[in-house]
Amino acid sequence: MSHNTIPERNPIGDPFSGSLLYDDKAAAYAITPHIAPNAVATGDFIIRYGIRLLGKPMISIVPGILALDYGEMLTGEAAWDFIFNKSNLYPRADVVGYRHDGEDDMIPLKHLDVALTPDVLIYADSIATKPLAKVTALIATEQQAQNLPSRLLQYLPCFESLSEWQSHG
């Protein structure tokens, strides 16, 4: 890649079809591949992942571009891999993306907490910059989970049923 060209933002995202659920008691959102009658939203979504800020874990950024020292730019899976596996090589690199609240931001790599589990954010489509919600659980049977993106399974606790999730607390 040429050092003179700034690439288009390309945040990682996983397609997801199903329902977005909200539990009033827990004040939390969950997703399920089922079409649920009490869903906040149903259909096809994009799941993106926000890396939380060091000392401010309630704030996260979805990396669109990683600008390394000396002008090299990474996007997509290459940026994600670099952030989690090689960030110590260029701690002054900048992450450009949209925060969990939809605000455009640029944050130094050294201000991200790669030890924390990333936020799981659900978007209406691949061009949306503001998520519909931050998701804290996945409701899926073991068989359904086999067909879901591995990153989603890695970052969310999985429950077999809505009642199991609600009783979890």
The whole model's pTM is what? 0.92
Instruction: List Cα–Cα distances, 110 to 30, 83, 115, 118, 120, in angstroms.
Output: 30, 10, 12, 16, 21
Report pLDDT digits (tens) over 92-150: 999 999 999 999 999 999 999 999 999 999 999 999 999 999 999 999 999 999 999 99
**Residue 68 neighbours by CB under 8 Å, 6+ apart:** 74, 82, 90, 93
Would you state the pLDDT for residue 1? 47
**Residue 3 neighbours by CB under 8 Å, 6+ apart:** 70, 71, 72
Is the pLDDT assigned to residue 155 strictly greater than 80? Answer: yes
Report whether 34 contacts 18 (CB < 8 A).
yes
Distance CA 108, CA 69 (A): 11
3-state secondary structure 55-115: CEEEEEEEEEEEECHHHCEECHHHHHHHHHHCHHHCCCCEEEEEECCCCEEEEEHHHECCC
Report pLDDT digits (tens) over 53-90: 999 999 999 999 999 988 899 999 999 999 999 988 88
Q: What is the distance of C-alpha 107 from the center of its chain?
A: 16
Is the pLDDT assigned to residue 9 strictly greater than 80? Answer: yes
Could you give the 3-state DSSP secondary structure of residue 153? helix
Is the pLDDT assigned to residue 4 strictly greater than 80? Answer: no
Report pLDDT digits (tens) over 11-36: 999 999 999 999 887 668 888 888 88
Mean pLDDT in residue range 40-59: 95
Would you state the pLDDT for residue 3? 53
The tokens for 124 are: 């209406």
